[in-house]
Every structure is written in C-alpha cells, then in structure tokens.
Amino acid sequence: MQTPWIAPSILSADFARLGEEVDAVLKAGAQVIHFDVMDNHYVPNLTIGPPICEALRKYGVEAPIDVHLMVRPVDRIVPDFAAAGATFISFHPEATEHVDRTIELIREHGCKPGLVFNPATPLDYLDYTLEKLDMVLLMSVNPGFGGQKFIPSALRKLAEVRKRIDAIDRPVRLEIDGGVKVDNIQAIARAGADTFVAGSAIFGSKDYAKTIREMHVQIEAAKGPAK
Ligand code: DX5
Ligand code: ZN
C-alpha cells in the first residue's frame, strides 16, 4: 500500500480563478491534482483540455497532474496531454479500440498509464494489463458530473483490486473517484484505496485545509479496528 494521496478534482473549482484554486488545495495538503477531461461524446458533459493543463504548468504548478480522460477516441489526445505536462493519464477501456496500444502510447510519451473502470465495468480488463499500469481508477459514480452519490458496490470492487495489486511486485496506485466525503472515506480506505479523488467535498467546503486534514485523519483511522 502506498502513502495516501488526496486528489482534489478541479471540476468543482472556480474555473475563473483556476490557478489560485489549485495553489490553495496544494497548500491545504493535497498531493495531486485530478484533471477531469470530458468530451460531450463518451460522457454527456464538456470540460477542459490540454491548453488548461499547460496553463497550470506555466502558472507554476509542480504537483503531479492526474489526467482522467473521459473521451473517445483516446489515442489522438494522449500526445497533447503529455506535451501539456500531464503526469498520470488514465482512460476508460471501452473508449479505445486497442487497450494495450493506448497503455504503450501513454508510456512512450513519458506519462504514467492508468485504467478506469465504470461502476458496471467488470475487472477483466486487468487480466493482461495490470503489470503495465501505474494506476487503477475505480469510478464510484457514473462518469460525467461532479456532486453525485457514492455507489456502494465500489467498496467490494476496491477490495478485489487491492488483492490483485498486492499480488504483483510493483507499485500501482488504487484510486477511487466519485462521491468521496469525509464521512465515507474511512470505509473507502479500509476497502483498499490509496488515492482519493474529491471534487465537491473539497471545493464545496469553506476551509480546504480542514477538509483535507479531516480526510487524512479518517484514512489513518482505517488502519485501526472498524467502529
Ligand atoms: C466524474 C469525475 C469526478 C468528479 C468527482 O465523472 O470523474 O472526478 O469530479 O466529483 P465529486 O467528488 O463531487 O463526486
Ligand atoms: Zn475523475
């Protein structure tokens, strides 16, 4: 298990002040910035692309940027995100023709590949890919919007992926995305996640540092007995 990371999703940030918002969550204790890319095609919403990622790098953001691609096709946009300063690039296997080729493409461009599983997507895609990944991202909502409710079956799925990751000899982050809050993050950590995306829970709170601190306290508590 790797050190826990809180990954604020900038989908819920104030886009008119994006640089300041990113600085604020990093100063507040976040380890990585979650960057949601939606294309109004693979998902019914439209967000941000490589120029915004590049703008954050030019603004001075040095933290890892965790790009979550909710786009189809995937391969066309990978080199652009690599050039724009992405650290991780995760994609949905249903959205690409050749999953292995897309993983290789991300790696060739110097980024860390991740595979994303929708709530109803079985884990079979991991059978021949896990050894090549730096991240497995489990969706605990259907992709497309912030502020949705956590789908409880994600806990069972997390536990399954945790077992698979622990069985291989390389570090792979296990990330959860959707409906993560202070009051459910302990159960999520207990199920095996080590990277926690939170959009509305952080950017919707008044005090980012307090929220992130409380999340870390709950993650730490997950190491002890369940209450
Ligand atoms: C949903 C996105 C999430 C979203 C999470 O498609 O992938 O990253 O921003 O938002 P919350 O934490 O509000 O559920
Ligand atoms: Zn996301």
Q: Which of 14, 36, 39, 127 is catalytic?
A: 36
Q: Up-side HSE of residue 148: CA atoms within 13 Å toward CB? A: 16
The answer to whether 127 and 161 have CB atoms below 8 angstroms apart is no
Q: Which CATH class is domain 5-221?
A: alpha beta
Pocket lining: 175 vs ligand 1, CB cutoff 6 Å: no
> Nearest ligand, CA of residue 67?
2
Class of residue 118 by CB neighbours under 10 A (exposed 0-12, middle 13-18, buried 19+): middle
CA distance 44 to 207: 31
Cα–ligand 2 centroid distance for 210 (angstroms): 22
pLDDT in tens, 26-51: 999 999 999 999 999 999 999 999 99
Question: Domain coordinates of the chain in residue numbers?
Answer: 5-221
Q: Which atom of ligand 1 is nearest to the CA of 150?
A: 14
Asked if 143 and 118 touch (Cβ cutoff 8 Å), the reply is yes
Show the low-confidence residues of the chain (pLDDT under 70). 227
Mean pLDDT of the chain: 98
CB 39 within 8 A of CB 71: yes
Question: CB of 143 closer than 6 A to ligand 1?
Answer: yes
Q: Is the CB of 148 under 6 A from ligand 1?
A: yes
pTM: 0.98
Q: Which ligand is nearest to the CA of 135?
A: 2
